[in-house]
Amino acid sequence: MQLSAQQNKLIVTDKMHRNSIDTEMNTFLEEINSDSIKATIQWLQNYGTRFLKDTNHRSIAVWLQQKFISIGYQNTVLDSFLHITQFNNPGFYTEDTTWQYNVIATLEGSVYPDSICIAGGHYDSMSDSAYYGKAAPGADDDASGVAAAIEVARVFKKINLRPALTIKFIAFAAEEFMGFTRSGAAYYAARADSLGEKIKFFANNDMIAYEPSANNWHADFYCFIGMDWMKNMAVSACTKYTDIIPNIINQNCPGDAFPFFERGFQTLHFFEDIFNPYYHTRNDVVEKLNMPYCAEMTKITMAMLIGEAHAVVGINEPIADLYSSLNIYPNPASNSMYIQNSLQEEVKMQIMNTIGEVILQKVLTKGVNETNLRSFKSGIYLIQFTADEGVFQQKLIIRANRN
């Protein structure tokens, strides 16, 4: 056992937390219930369509808000944004604006409320070449991902799992038209970036319930460039706690994770391994889905949240968290960068370029550490932090403005 003494307070280290969680993790994950997930998918499917321009889109957001409230998230909000659509396709043209709504339920962290872990999916749906008022049940795409987030949220409340970091469960709007205009996830990520919101990671579940086999299950993990920390964490949760074999696909992919990746937040897109042949048709219905597989997929997100938001049953003790204990400013940086290290230990820092070459490395002591960046060219870099508490990576943007 490692205990760090800080002003007579005992701090639980990350390793201690993981060891103690390990013994209970499977008990927590067994609470994930495929019938409960299925009921949510069925509700969303019953709307007939969740096309973002259809007149029912606000009532779906309100239903999701009520759903979160009914499982204990009284703080759930509709986070509205103006959606400007310019879309031209054979037989369908629209150029207008609508209000769209991300639905956000928050479980506030007891130790690091300003550090946020996000789990979510998108609730809008569409059918190819069929828009207003056409059947778009979207059971797999992506009622499954939304239902997964709701199920994890439900279990956290049910067994009184309390996180040290804040968890946000988000049903995102307007994903299906993201190629043409700003999606709900892009709206969220842009605002989070401009406000300096501290997002540890975003687990995006989009199409996680189609699997024709009764066993030998796989999942596709789309790992964006520079998202190795999240990939390693997800692979470890998947292999340790589920019956699913992870397939790692090292490439960027469109969807709600993309705008988070663009802003430098750690993210990963979870996807079924066998592509759903009913995608974007009136046959993407819950009857075609494999609910035990979907429940197993949901466990990956739950295990990651428990591990990374340091959730425990009951009250959190002071716990060390590498990510939450480091503050980098400014980012984007120009001539100098400052990192405040609030951990009780030294942290090794490496700055790498996009092809993984280490350009600078140093040790950060407790307190504020200044790094001179005058020799760096403008561009995107990756900073990796290593301590006894673990490893974390994040993006550093350097905008050289030398006089």
Task: State in angstroms the smallest separation of the CB of 320 from Zn ion.
Answer: 37
Contacts of 186 (CB under 8 A, 6+ apart): 178, 258, 259
SS3 label, residue 343? coil
Task: State in angstroms the smallest separation of the CB of 3 from Zn ion.
Answer: 46
Task: State in angstroms the smallest separation of the CB of 178 from Zn ion.
Answer: 9
Span from 93-101, 135-143, 225-233, 298-306 in contact with Zn ion (CB under 5 A): 135-143
Angle at 248 between CA 247 and CA 254, to 5 degrees: 110
Task: State in angstroms the smallest separation of the CB of 175 from Zn ion.
Answer: 6
Please answer whether residues 110 and 316 qualify as being in contact, where contact means their C-beta atoms are separated by less than 8 angstroms. Answer: yes
Q: How far is CA 342 from each of CA 203, 322, 347, 369, 373, rounded to the nearest angstrom? A: 26, 9, 10, 11, 22
- The DSSP symbol for 140 reads I
Task: State in angstroms the smallest separation of the CB of 68 from Zn ion.
Answer: 20
**Closer residue to Zn ion (CB): 109 or 145:** 145
Core vs surface per residue 1-32: b (16+ CB within 10 A) or e: eeeeeeeeeebbbbebbeeebeeebeebbebb
C-alpha span between 303 and 21 (Å, rounded): 10
Task: State in angstroms the smallest separation of the CB of 272 from Zn ion.
Answer: 11
Span from 33-41, 199-207, 231-239, 354-362 in contact with Zn ion (CB under 5 A): 199-207
Q: Is residue 141 within the footprint of Zn ion (CB under 5 A)?
A: yes
Contacts of 50 (CB under 8 A, 6+ apart): 44, 56, 57, 60, 123, 124, 125, 136, 138
For every residue of 203-220, DSSP letters joined together read EEE-S-----SSSSEEEE
Span from 64-72, 204-212, 258-266, 365-373 in contact with Zn ion (CB under 5 A): 204-212
**Closer residue to Zn ion (CB): 206 or 211:** 206
Span from 60-68, 136-144, 146-154, 240-248 in contact with Zn ion (CB under 5 A): 136-144
Q: Which amino acid is present at 399?
A: R
> Is the sign of the CA dihedral 330, 336, 341, 342 positive or negative?
negative
**Closer residue to Zn ion (CB): 101 or 270:** 270
Task: State in angstroms the smallest separation of the CB of 122 from Zn ion.
Answer: 6
**Closer residue to Zn ion (CB): 61 or 343:** 61
Choose among 389, 311, 307, 312: nearest CA to 344.
Answer: 389
**Closer residue to Zn ion (CB): 177 or 217:** 177
Task: State in angstroms the smallest separation of the CB of 177 from Zn ion.
Answer: 11
Instruction: Determine the size of the site formed for Zn ion (CB under 5 A).
Output: 3
Structure tokens at 358: 């280490």
Please answer whether residues 323 and 296 qualify as being in contact, where contact means their C-beta atoms are separated by less than 8 angstroms. Answer: no
**What proportions of the chain, in percent to the nearest 5, are helix, strand and coil?**
30, 35, 35
Task: State in angstroms the smallest separation of the CB of 140 from Zn ion.
Answer: 8
Angle between helices 14-29 and 291-308 (to 10 degrees): 160
Task: State in angstroms the smallest separation of the CB of 206 from Zn ion.
Answer: 4
Task: State in angstroms the smallest separation of the CB of 268 from Zn ion.
Answer: 15
**Closer residue to Zn ion (CB): 256 or 321:** 256
**Closer residue to Zn ion (CB): 34 or 125:** 125
**Closer residue to Zn ion (CB): 79 or 141:** 141
Span from 133-141, 221-229, 275-283, 387-395 in contact with Zn ion (CB under 5 A): 133-141
Q: Is residue 206 within the footprint of Zn ion (CB under 5 A)?
A: yes
Token look-up 């390693």 returns: 232
Footprint on residues 312-341 left by Zn ion (CB under 5 A) = none
**Closer residue to Zn ion (CB): 54 or 142:** 142
**Closer residue to Zn ion (CB): 182 or 310:** 182
Span from 82-90, 200-208, 230-238, 385-393 in contact with Zn ion (CB under 5 A): 200-208
Choose among 16, 19, 260, 309: nearest CA to 120.
Answer: 260
Site mask, Zn ion, residues 58-97, x = CB under 5 A? ----------------------------------------
**Closer residue to Zn ion (CB): 118 or 326:** 118
CA count, 13 A, side-chain hemisphere, 82: 3
Q: Is residue 142 within the footprint of Zn ion (CB under 5 A)?
A: yes
Residues of this chain that interact with Zn ion (CB under 5 A) are 141-142, 206
